[in-house]
Structure 1
Amino acid sequence: MPFDHNDHYHRLLLRNVPPDARTALDVGCGTGRFARRLVGRGCRVDALDPDPDTLAAAEASGGGPRYRLADASTEPLPPAHYDVITCLASLHHMPFATLTRFRDALAPGGRLLVLGCSAGHTYRDLVASPANALTRAAVHATERARGIRTPSRKAPVRQPEMRLPRIRAEAARLLPGSEVRQLLYWRYLLTYTK
């Protein structure tokens, strides 16, 4: 069904983008939907993804980001450059310490926004499972009634290995002053302002 857990949080992420942000890095951009939303907010966006097929789908959608085939854990990033760095469901595909590379690439006052996936189950999963089923069914019915077809190309999926308590501890160690908030649909939001 068409409901995408990451897309569900686009509005939340956009509310956390600094209002004066002009430069952005979208890490693990997938098919580019969020990168295009950042362009819509007036940002010049570098969008990185290591999967050539997914990046080709993003480039075919256009919309203004500068797409690059790259692994953000090893790709050289300009120091103190970006007003906002976003990372949607991709941090668990790379070493967690890659956060320090993102921190170093943030301009003073810049913000890092990680919509992450964690391993294990929490009390919120009890709510997430039925909410997920209901939301997916509602989105499917609405899109079907409107004649909308959901694109079939999806970014590669990998199961996360870190549990939320360890994520919080590592984030506090690597990015003092960061916050980690648990969300529904097996996601968390890590925010850090440099």
Structure 2
Amino acid sequence: MAFDHNDHYHRRLLRLAPSGGGKALDVGCGTGRFARRLAERGLEVDAVDPASEVIEAATPAPGVRYHHADVTRMELPHDHYAYISCLASIHHMPFGTVATLRDALAPGGVLAILGCYLESTATDYAWALAAVPVNAAARLAKAGRGTASPAPVKRPELSLTEIRREAAVLLPGASLRRLLFWRYLLVYRRP
């Protein structure tokens, strides 16, 4: 498999997911790699993506139901999912969508967002610069393996400061942490 920034964080995200049962929602599932890993943990996964080309390229797996849909237009059941993941997908929709995802969580459920942010501060640029050699080494180590994802790419519009401000209102008590490879991890646990 070719090096993928999102796949690099799968293990960290899986540690946040319950094991041995429950329902999960993978928003912006792409070809379904993370959804399949959630299913391997015993979760029943609804994997949603608005891009037909990635849903068509998704690998079927037991416990995963793929949906070609835009989550911003879906009526998600309230109090339903034990785990909701968004891997590099929340910046493709209004950030306020997290309120709908929050409401779809069952009590005690976890919303895990591996997001992309717009670089806007000296600290952002320093982290980006630090990621460049590590990124080059990782890509070189994986060169010639796998294929690139057909998922559409979009430049983020919100800075980390703006995301932190919005999350404080919409996801009170959530934690936000900057990660390498131009990502952040936002985790919300529903009381």
**Bucket of the pairwise TM-score, normalised by the shorter protein:** over 0.9
Matching residue of 2:174 = 178
Q: Could you state the TM-score of these two structures normalised by the residue count of structure 2? A: 0.93
| 1:151 CA displacement | 3.0
* 8 Å contact from structure 1 (residues 73, 98) kept in 2: yes
Matching residue of 2:109 = 110
1:120 aligned counterpart, secondary structure:
coil
| Matching residue's letter, 1:84 | Y
Aligned positions, number: 185
143, 153, 156: which is aligned to 2:152?
A: 156
| Matching residue's letter, 1:134 | A
| Matching residue's letter, 2:40 | G
Say if 2:24 is the partner of 1:24.
yes
Distance (Å, rounded) in 1 between the aligned partners of 2:159 and 2:148 = 30
- Deviations 1:100-148, CA, capped at 9 Å, x for gaps: 00000000000000000001151211210111011111122xxx5xxxx
The residue correspondences of 1:66-77 to structure 2 (distance < 5 A) are 66-77=65-76
Matching residue of 2:44 = 44
The residue correspondences of 1:54-133 to structure 2 (distance < 5 A) are 54-58=54-58, 61-64=59-62, 65-120=64-119, 122=124, 123-133=126-136
Q: Could you state the TM-score of these two structures normalised by the residue count of structure 1? A: 0.91
- Runs of 4+ deviating beyond 4 Å: none
Q: Which region of structure 1 is more displaced relative to structure 2, 117-126 or 46-55?
A: 117-126
Distance (Å, rounded) in 2 between the aligned partners of 1:154 and 1:13 = 22
* 8 Å contact from structure 2 (residues 19, 42) kept in 1: no
RMSD: 1.4
1:47 aligned counterpart, secondary structure:
strand
* 8 Å contact from structure 1 (residues 21, 84) kept in 2: no
| 1:154 CA displacement | 2.0
Change (3 A) 1:179 1:153: closer
- Deviations 1:45-81, CA, capped at 9 Å, x for gaps: 00000011110101xx111210011111111101100
| Structure 2 unaligned residues grouped into runs of 5+ | none
173, 185, 189: which is aligned to 2:185?
A: 189
- Deviations 1:166-187, CA, capped at 9 Å, x for gaps: 1111101111001110000000
1:87 aligned counterpart, secondary structure:
strand
- Deviations 1:10-50, CA, capped at 9 Å, x for gaps: 00100111345511000000010000000000000000000
2:152 aligned counterpart, secondary structure:
coil
Distance (Å, rounded) in 2 between the aligned partners of 1:22 and 1:172 = 27
Change (3 A) 1:153 1:18: closer
1:192 aligned counterpart, secondary structure:
strand
